[in-house]
């Protein structure tokens, strides 16, 4: 089962965190950020629950539903920042108010945009690695994904596992969204959907579907993002060129799995005994 709609859940998580930041605008206190983060997590979970419900009740393909919901979330952003959430002092630009200081993630390296969300993401990956390899929940995920009929015989519910997988992945995508909007963006803008959710597919396969590998694969993809922006400003390289590069990375990675998993062997057919 594949959750292709992480981009949409990332957006909804950012919107949920934005709603809390705007509702507490002008307030101070260390409780605002801890309130924004659960809001983003719950927002991502609820949005991921839609394809999970359609999958378990009507057997609708989760790839299609989660993917189409991504475009719905993008349009929701455009509506909110142009009407109900538009900054009244923004000189007509489609954006929300700039978050108050208490609703922004602190930077951990002065002079950069490296914020507190970076170590949080690393801790999440380490916890995910431990859970997937050392817990019954992780074994249940791997068993149902690899052999649903055998897992059902072993007592694992396929529908329950689908719900758990979608809700957890949606929660993590929503967490990423709220950390991003409270970190470098510090307000909701039309450029918030940056295709991070789709890039996560490349990161997952580049990391060999291993949470620890995802950390290093994420750093590699981050270099391509930053390097692409530098190349645009210095040598005028089109933004599409960096996207093509990232797509080719995934293409060659998947193509390389063929000779790794399957060996070509030349078979010489021996003539039958007594044949002319």
pLDDT of residue 273: 65
Q: Which domain holds residue 76?
A: 6-194
pLDDT, tens only, 103-126 = 999 999 888 888 999 999 999 999
- Do 129 and 218 sit in the same domain of this protein? no
pLDDT of residue 83: 85
Residue 16 covered by a domain: yes
pLDDT of residue 147: 84
- Do 83 and 219 sit in the same domain of this protein? no
Residue 272 covered by a domain: no
What is residue 197's three-state secondary structure? helix
- Do 93 and 175 sit in the same domain of this protein? yes
Higher per-residue confidence, 112 vs 131 = 131
Average pLDDT (81-95) is 87
pLDDT of residue 272: 66
- Do 218 and 176 sit in the same domain of this protein? no
Those residues with Cβ within 8 angstroms of residue 187's Cβ, 6 or more apart along the chain or in another chain: 18, 87, 95, 96, 97, 98, 99, 181
Integer angstrom CA distances of residue 243 from 2, 195, 225? 22, 10, 9
Average pLDDT (218-239) is 86
Structure tokens at 198: 């789709």
Output b/e per residue, 103-113; b: 16+ Cβ within 10 A.
bbbeeeeeeee
Number of domains in the chain: 2
Residue 167 covered by a domain: yes
pLDDT, tens only, 166-176 = 999 999 999 99
The DSSP code for 183 is: I
Instruction: Using the predicted structure, report yes or no on whether residue 226 has a pLDDT greater than 90.
Output: no
Calculate the average pLDDT of the chain: 90
Contact 1, 54 (CB under 8 A): no
Of 140, 161, 194, the domain-final residue: 194
Instruction: Using the predicted structure, report yes or no on whether residue 264 has a pLDDT greater than 80.
Output: no
Q: What are phi and psi of 20, to 5 degrees?
A: -70, -40
Instruction: Using the predicted structure, report yes or no on whether residue 99 has a pLDDT greater than 90.
Output: yes
Average pLDDT (220-246) is 85
Output b/e per residue, 221-235; b: 16+ Cβ within 10 A.
beebeeebeebeeee
Higher per-residue confidence, 242 vs 19 = 19
pLDDT classification of 24: cutoffs 50, 70, 90: very high
- Do 74 and 208 sit in the same domain of this protein? no
Instruction: Using the predicted structure, report yes or no on whether residue 193 has a pLDDT greater than 70.
Output: yes
Residue 1 covered by a domain: no
- Do 219 and 99 sit in the same domain of this protein? no
Residue 205 covered by a domain: yes
Average pLDDT (231-259) is 83
Stated pTM of the model? 0.89
pLDDT of residue 32: 94
- Do 173 and 246 sit in the same domain of this protein? no
- Do 136 and 245 sit in the same domain of this protein? no
pLDDT classification of 275: cutoffs 50, 70, 90: low
pLDDT classification of 251: cutoffs 50, 70, 90: confident
Of 139, 168, 194, the domain-final residue: 194
């Amino acid at each position: 089962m594949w959750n292709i709609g992480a981009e949409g859940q990332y957006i909804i998580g950012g919107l949920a965190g934005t709603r809390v930041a705007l509702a507490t605008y002008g307030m101070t206190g260390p409780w605002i950020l801890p309130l924004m983060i659960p809001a983003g997590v719950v927002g991502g979970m609820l949005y991921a629950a839609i394809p999970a419900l359609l999958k378990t009740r009507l057997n609708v393909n989760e790839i299609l539903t989660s993917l189409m919901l991504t475009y719905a979330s993008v349009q929701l952003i455009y509506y909110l920042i142009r009407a109900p959430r538009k900054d009244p002092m923004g000189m007509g630009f489609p954006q929300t108010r700039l978050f108050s200081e208490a609703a922004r993630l602190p930077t951990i390296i002065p002079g950069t945009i490296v914020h507190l969300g970076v170590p949080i993401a690393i801790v999440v990956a380490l916890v995910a690695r431990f859970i997937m390899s050392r817990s019954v929940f992780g074994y249940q995920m791997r068993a149902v994904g690899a052999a649903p009929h055998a897992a059902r015989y072993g007592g694992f519910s396929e529908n329950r596992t689908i719900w758990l997988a979608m809700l957890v992945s949606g929660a993590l995508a929503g967490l990423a969204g709220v950390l991003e909007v409270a970190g470098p963006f510090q307000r909701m803008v039309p450029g918030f959907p940056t295709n991070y959710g789709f890039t996560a597919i490349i990161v997952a396969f580049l990391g060999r579907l291993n949470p620890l590998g995802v950390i290093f694969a994420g750093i590699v993809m981050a270099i391509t993002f930053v390097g692409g922006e530098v190349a645009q400003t210095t040598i005028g390289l089109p933004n599409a060129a960096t996207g093509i590069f990232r797509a080719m990375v995934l293409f060659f990675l998947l193509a390389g799995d063929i000779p790794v998993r399957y060996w070509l062997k030349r078979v010489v057919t021996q003539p039958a005994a007594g044949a002319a």
